[in-house]
Amino acid sequence: MNLGIENEYQEFKEGLGQLDKGLKSIVAMLNKHGQGTVYYGVKDDGNVCGISIGKNTLMDIRNRIRDKIEPRIYADIQELIDETNKKYIKVFARGYDIPYSFDGRYYIRNVSADEHASNEILRRMLSTSDSDILRQKSSPNQNPTFNSLFAILAGNGIHPSATREFYSNYGLINRNGKFNMNAYLLSDRNSISLKVITFEGTDKSVMSKRTEYGGKCLLISISEVMQFFETINIMKVNLNNTIREELPLFDFPSFREAWINACLHNDWKNEVAPSIYLFDDRIEIVSYGGLPFSLSKEGFYQGTSVPVNKSLLTIFMAAKYAEQSGHGIPTIVEKYGKEVFSFDDGMLKVTIPLAFDRPDVATRKNIVLYKNGLTENQKKVYDALSHDGNLSLQNVADKVGISLGATKKICAKLQNLGILERVGSRKKGQWITK
């Protein structure tokens, strides 16, 4: 039986005389990826050679793990038998309380080898290990209310109560008994703002709208953003050979997963919230903090979960906003590919393409097209009314230097094109250009 090759996630050892070396590999893999597997009774080439296993062997391995690895891990240790009745042992461990040490020393996995962690790597690991700062950092408001949070939890079969026990179980107070940043984010009032910014075109040169959802329970703000994008996610219907085809503007399940992931794994230490940018051709979801140290890009794409804000995840799961199944990112990858993700300067950006022009974008593009196709006199009339919508048609005619009859025809044409509108009465109304 062959178990493959050694890599960053698994290590082979021929016998238990290499027990410590294997456990050192476990530590190195935990520090790099948050999980790792070591097989005993397997050659370097992946072929099972078998080992002798006594009644206390597995317990001895467990005790060695307890005595040598810090912080404590609880490994899954199994005795296995291949098709030729050769016995071997599998040791699997998962953990995110990095950095882990073996016998007081720190290691990091590099391809299929274990290296001593440098001071820089150790510093980064320590930074990651303290990433659940939301639980320890005190809230600026020590008198919060949680009416919205309690209502959401109650709707999901949980019966919350304003007790220290509840606050502790759901990670809303720190070790000093004070309300923490989790509590601040989830309270009825805070200064957190989730921004949705709309731009005209495909870059950030012209901003057309800025909407902020915030000042309230984070779960409510998240839902309001999703409701907005659910509203604009119109369906385009094509009738092809009597077959009705419906095409959404974008895949909403992918958007939802990207948005929830951005809010859940965002680095909230400095109260900087994720943002969404809406362009003519795409949606960009930006969160801060990047990937955890122990999570590779490939692991990320495959759905490996390394919670950055562990206590916040507890609330999200209780409120049915998130799962721990790890299917969210693979869902996006399956729909749009890995290229929609970009990691840059401590930021994670997800770019979701739009399948067609939104109605407002199509109208704007048509207006530009119409304007570019106007005659010189039509442009002059349009420009005159753009500067002063209160002008009479006679005034316009005089400014442009054409007859009143020609001016009327031009105005009628501009109205038909949708770039000129008359608002109000004939005598007291005004012209609106678009």
Q: What is the CATH number of the domain that holds 274?
A: 3.30.565.60
| One domain for residues 98 and 231 | no
For residue 2, being part of any structural domain is answered with no
pLDDT tens digits, one per residue of 294-339: 566 777 777 766 666 777 888 998 998 887 556 788 889 999 999 9
| One domain for residues 104 and 175 | no
Of 95, 128, 92, 121, residue with least CA distance to 107: 121
Parallel, antiparallel or unpaired: strands 193-199 and 275-278: parallel
For residue 203, being part of any structural domain is answered with yes
Output the six-digit token pair for 34. Answer: 């948050």
Chain-centre distance of CA 1, in angstroms?
A: 41
For residue 342, being part of any structural domain is answered with yes
Query: In whole angstroms, what is the distance from residue 160 CA to residue 153 CA?
Result: 7
DSSP code string of 179-207: BBHHHHHHSSS-S-EEEEEEESSSSSS-E
Split at pLDDT 50, 70, 90, the class of 130 is very low
Output the six-digit token pair for 129. Answer: 């290990």
> Would you state the pLDDT for residue 96?
65
Q: Which domain holds residue 79?
A: 10-129
**Helix-helix angle 218-232:252-264, to 10 degrees:** 160
Query: In whole angstroms, what is the distance from residue 165 CA to residue 181 CA?
Result: 17
| One domain for residues 159 and 251 | no
> Would you state the pLDDT for residue 109?
84
What pairs with residue 212 in β-bridges?
195
| One domain for residues 43 and 92 | yes
pLDDT tens digits, one per residue of 250-279: 999 999 999 998 998 888 877 889 999 999
Predicted TM-score of the model (pTM)? 0.61
Number of domains in the chain: 4
CATH number for the domain spanning 75: value is 3.30.950.30
| One domain for residues 331 and 268 | yes
Given a cut of 50, whether residue 124 has pLDDT beyond it is: yes
Mean per-residue pLDDT, 351-368: 83
Measured over the CA atoms of residue 38, residue 39, residue 45 and residue 51, the dihedral's sign is: positive
| One domain for residues 206 and 343 | yes
| One domain for residues 31 and 116 | yes
| One domain for residues 100 and 141 | no
DSSP code string of 244-266: EEEEESS-HHHHHHHHHHHHHSS
| One domain for residues 342 and 224 | yes
